Amino acid sequence: MSEIRFDGKTAIVTGAGGGLGRCHALELARRGANVVVNDLGPAMDGSQGTSDGAKAVVEEIRAMGGTAIANGSSVADDAGVKKMIDDTMSEFGRIDIIIANAGILRDKSFAKLTVGDFDIILDVHLMGTVKPFMAAWDIMKGQQYGRLVVTTSSTGLYGNFGQANYGAAKLGLVGLMNTLKQEGAKYNIKVNAVCPVAATAMTENLMPPALLEALKPEYVTPGVMNLVKEDAPTGTILSCAAGGFSIAQIRETKGAFVGTGDALTAEAVAAKWDEIADDSVLQAFDNGSGHTGHFIRMIQEAQKG
C-alpha cells in the first residue's frame, strides 16, 4: 500500500494547540503538508486564553523539519477567520485541507442551561466550522481541490446526559457535511466527519486514568488522515477510539404505507406501528431526494395493490 503524503498541500487545523488538533497538525506536517496551527487557547468553557499552545506546536513541527505558522484567531469571529484565511494564502498561496477541530464545553442538564450556553457552543462548534469552510470555499473551487473535516461526537449522534447544547451543535455538523458533500462534488471538494473518543482536556475529568491512557488522541489521527487524503471518501462519518474504527450511518426502516384520506388516522398508524418500526431491513440515503424517492416508491407499490 502506498504511503499517504501531503507534499505541496496546505492544511489548516483549528483548535490545534493541544489534544486531537495538535496530533492532526503534527501528522500532516510529518507527511509533507504546510500546516496552519490555529488556536485561540481558551479555557474549556470558552473564556479567554492565549495562543501559546499554537506557537508551541509550530515549534514542534519546525523542529522536525516541517513547515508551519501559528494563528490565534477565534473561529467564531468573522474578522479572525478572515485573518486566518488571508494569512494562509499570503504564506502558502493555497488551502487544500481544513480540519475543524476547535471546541469548548458548557455541560449542564437542560433544566440548568441558558440560551447563552447554547449560543456559545453553537458559535464555536457549528459556526466555528461554517465560517472557515465558507471563507475557503471559493478558493477550493478555484483549485478544483479541497478536503474538509468536521468533528462530530457521539453526543450528537446518540445523545449524552448534560450535553444538549453540545449535541445539537455536533449533529448540526453532520447536516452541514451531508449538503457540502453534494455541492462540492463537481469541484473535487470532499467533506467528511470524524467522531472521536479521546483523552483530551475536554474529557480528562470525565474518565478514569486507565481509560484515558487507552484513549490517546494520537490513536484517532490515522483515521483522520484517511479523510483528507487524495482518494478520500466523501460524506463519511468515521468513528475512532483507542485504535478502533467504524463507520456511523443514518439509516431508515423500510416502513409501511398506511393509507390516505379517511383511512389515514392516528389509530391506523398505531395499528401498523410494528411494521413501520421493523428494523430487519434498513437503508441509507445519499441525499434528501433519495429519502423522498423512498416514499414515492412506497406509494406506487401500494397503488399496484
Same domain, 50 and 143: yes
Same domain, 49 and 167: yes
**Does residue 257 fall inside a structural domain?**
yes
**Does residue 1 fall inside a structural domain?**
no
Report the percentage of the chain scoring pLDDT > 90: 87
**C-alpha span between 63 and 236 (Å, rounded):** 34
* Domain that includes residue 264, residue range: 252-304
| CATH number of the domain residue 286 falls in | 1.10.287
pLDDT band at 185 (very low <50, low <70, confident <90, very high): very high
**Does residue 76 fall inside a structural domain?**
yes
DSSP classification of residue 201: T
As to burial, measured by CB atoms within 10 angstroms (0-12 exposed, 13-18 middle, 19+ buried), residue 181 is: buried
Q: State yes or no: pLDDT of 211 exceeds 90.
A: no
The residue written with cell numbers 451531508 in the block is: 178
Residue 169 contacts residue 122 (beta carbons within 8 Å): yes
pLDDT recorded at residue 144? 98
pLDDT band at 239 (very low <50, low <70, confident <90, very high): very high
| CATH number of the domain residue 193 falls in | 3.40.50.720
Average pLDDT for residues 155-170, to the nearest whole number? 97
* Residue 107 vs residue 205, higher pLDDT: 107
Summary mean pLDDT of the chain: 94
Average pLDDT for residues 203-223, to the nearest whole number? 82
Look up the pTM and report it: 0.93
Average pLDDT for residues 265-293, to the nearest whole number? 96
DSSP classification of residue 218: G
**C-alpha span between 236 and 198 (Å, rounded):** 19
Same domain, 272 and 164: no
Same domain, 275 and 153: no
pLDDT recorded at residue 132? 98
3-class secondary structure per residue, 75-109: CCCHHHHHHHHHHHHHHHCCCCEEEECCCCCCCEC
Average pLDDT for residues 36-48, to the nearest whole number? 73
**Does residue 3 fall inside a structural domain?**
no
Same domain, 178 and 63: yes
Domain boundary among 202, 219, 248: 248
Same domain, 158 and 276: no
Catalytic residues: 166
Domain boundary among 248, 269, 293: 248
pLDDT recorded at residue 240? 97
Same domain, 227 and 269: no
Average pLDDT for residues 10-29, to the nearest whole number? 97
Number of structural domains the chain divides into: 2
Secondary structure (DSSP) of 8-20: T-EEEETTTTSHH
pLDDT band at 51 (very low <50, low <70, confident <90, very high): confident
Average pLDDT for residues 179-202, to the nearest whole number? 92
Q: What is the pLDDT of residues 141-154, one digit of tens each?
A: 999 999 999 999 99
Q: Residue 65 contacts by C-beta under 8 Å, 6 or more apart in sequence?
A: none
pLDDT recorded at residue 304? 87
List Cβ<8 Å contacts ≥24 apart for 169-173. Answer: 169/121, 169/122, 169/124, 169/125, 169/126, 170/125, 172/122, 172/125, 172/126, 173/100, 173/125, 173/126, 173/129
Same domain, 49 and 94: yes
* Residue 122 vs residue 298, higher pLDDT: 122
* Residue 223 vs residue 41, higher pLDDT: 223
pLDDT recorded at residue 141? 98
Residue 99: beta bridge partners? 13, 149
Same domain, 70 and 217: yes
Q: Of the given ranges (3-17, 32-46, 216-230, 271-285), which has the lowest mean pLDDT?
A: 32-46
Average pLDDT for residues 282-288, to the nearest whole number? 94
Main-chain phi, psi angles of 3, to 5 degrees: -70, 140
**Does residue 4 fall inside a structural domain?**
no
Same domain, 43 and 82: yes
**Does residue 5 fall inside a structural domain?**
no
**Does residue 17 fall inside a structural domain?**
yes
For 305, other C-beta atoms within 10 Å of its C-beta total 4
Same domain, 122 and 231: yes
**C-alpha span between 103 and 125 (Å, rounded):** 6
pLDDT recorded at residue 43? 59
Same domain, 256 and 152: no
Which H or E run includes 191?
strand 189-197
